Amino acid sequence: MQGLFAIYRKELGHYFVSPVAYAVVGVYAFICAAVFNFSLGQAVQQAAQMEMQGGGAPVDLPGLVLQGYFMFIATLLLFVVPMLTMSVFAEERKRGTIELLMTSPVTETQIVLGKFFGSLTFLVALLLPTVIPIIFMYFCSDPHFRITIVLGSYLGALLIGGSLMAVGTFISSLTENQIIAAVLTFVLFLMLWIVEIITPSGTSATAATVFNYLSVVRPFQDFVRGVIDTTSIVYYVSLMAFFVFLTVRSVDSMRWRRA
């Protein structure tokens, strides 16, 4: 455990010592806040138009705003996370510092888990400022929306972001070129993102079910609606565990090549 904690602390230092990390968090929070403000304005305008036209069923404004807001948060992670994970192993391989890790008294599993948990901690720091607009809307809305929807949505964002972190960490262990690592991570996760859309129309029912299960968006949409399904949690955790395992095997192969 001491070796894992040492790698974890080193990875946190890699993120939080650099001013770039704070700039990324600030820009991410600013963009999310701007989108939240725009979505809220659009929803209020739409509700006012419906009221002038004769009413109808009441519109759940907070629910609509939150769904769009969290879908944007997840979509933005698709672009941000590859840039955060591209240097996890690629930079160390390029600088030659990977040799120190390979000869240090820590196991491959400790190295990978330490780096992955460090990236996951930064993901939490990235998502934390996005709660500010939600707190503002909670105290200004009447009646208040359910907190469980927000908690479920953040759980989904953490799971889908963690899955992307695991994919990026694995690909970063395969190359020393950070740009290649970022692009491949984005492409691979984009395929998982749109796999449900690009499924051929003539696909059999069994194949269509498999493609739908591979989609990383469908489970997240359930979280945004306030539905926390254990199947969705198992899917994301399994995806993270699978790519963490592949990363351990990749790091292990580095050690054998240098033996």
Backbone dihedral angles phi then psi of residue 3, each to the nearest 5 degrees: -65, -40
CB neighbourhood size of 120 (10 A): 19
* Amino acid letter, 4: L
Contact 237, 166 (CB under 8 A): no
Structural contact between residues 173 and 182, judged by C-beta atoms closer than 8 angstroms: no
Q: Give residue 221's pLDDT.
A: 84
In this prediction, the residues of the chain whose per-residue pLDDT falls under 70 are 47, 50-60, 196-212, 255-259
Q: What does the pLDDT read at residue 246?
A: 93
Counting the structural domains of the chain, the total is: 1
Distance of alpha carbon 197 from alpha carbon 89, whole angstroms: 32
Token digits for 203?
Answer: 């696909």
**Per-residue pLDDT at 92:** 76
Both structure tokens of 112: 């990978």
Which pLDDT belongs to residue 107? 84
What is the per-residue pLDDT for 166? 93
What is residue 211's predicted lDDT score, i.e. its pLDDT?
66
H or E element at residue 259 = none
Q: What is the pLDDT of residue 203?
A: 60
Integer angstrom CA distances of residue 41 from 58, 103, 183, 248: 17, 57, 35, 47
Q: What domain range is 209 assigned to?
A: 2-258
